[in-house]
């Protein structure tokens, strides 16, 4: 399977999925079950990094499949950072948000980064801005 799933931090608050090759749509659903089980085991909110930096093409029916996958993430996944320099991935995700009402709320919690360094910086900033202590002090 072209998916490597691992914790990106020692506290198990950031889960990273590295996509390392082409796949069919069955494989992401298998990976999603593993991700959801890992997140469930933490008992706390998590952020997911979806590293698409080596993806060169998507399997057919990407828009409808993206919607199916995006609605199946564990509820403790509070935000997703998609990593990659391909503008196609971002356009696909933004189109899915516009077309499918069931995932529009994810538009507010999905971020895009060019690389893993930027992804980690975005996560830190997102947490700083959206932390309960920040909200209380505003």
What pLDDT was estimated at residue 102?
Answer: 66
**Alpha-carbon gap, residue 25 to 49, rounded angstroms:** 19
Q: Are 103 and 71 in contact (CB under 8 A)?
A: yes
Calpha distance 105→115 (Å, rounded) = 24
Q: What number is the average pLDDT over the span 111-122?
A: 94
> Does residue 92 carry a pLDDT above 80?
no
Collapsing DSSP states into helix, strand and coil, what is residue 43? coil
Per-residue pLDDT of 26-73, as tens digits, reads 677 788 899 999 999 999 999 999 898 887 777 667 666 777 777 788
Q: Tell me, what's the pLDDT at 135? A: 46
Say which residue, 115 or 134, is predicted with more confidence: 115
| CA neighbor of 84 nearest in space, from 109, 110, 114 | 114
- Mean pLDDT, residues 113-132 taken together: 90
Q: Select 3-137's CATH number: 3.40.190.10, 2.115.10.20, 2.170.120.12, 3.30.750.24.
A: 3.30.750.24
pLDDT (0 to 100) of residue 137? 46
For the chain, domain boundaries: 3-137
pLDDT reported for residue 109: 83
Whether pLDDT at 133 is above 70: no
Question: Would you mind telling me the total number of residues written for the chain in this entry?
Answer: 138
């Amino acid at each position: 399977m072209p998916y490597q799933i691992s914790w990106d931090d020692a506290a198990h608050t950031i889960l990273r999925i590295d996509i390392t090759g082409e796949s069919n749509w069955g494989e992401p659903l298998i990976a999603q079950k593993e991700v959801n089980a890992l997140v469930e085991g933490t008992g706390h909110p998590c952020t997911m990094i979806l590293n698409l930096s080596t993806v060169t093409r998507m399997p057919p029916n990407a828009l409808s499949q993206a919607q199916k996958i995006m609605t199946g993430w564990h509820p403790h996944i509070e935000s997703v950072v998609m990593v990659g320099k391909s503008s196609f991935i971002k356009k696909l995700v933004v189109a899915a948000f516009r077309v499918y009402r069931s995932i529009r709320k994810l538009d507010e919690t999905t971020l895009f980064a060019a690389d893993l360094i930027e992804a980690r910086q975005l996560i830190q900033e997102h947490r700083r801005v959206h932390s309960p202590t920040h909200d209380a002090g505003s």
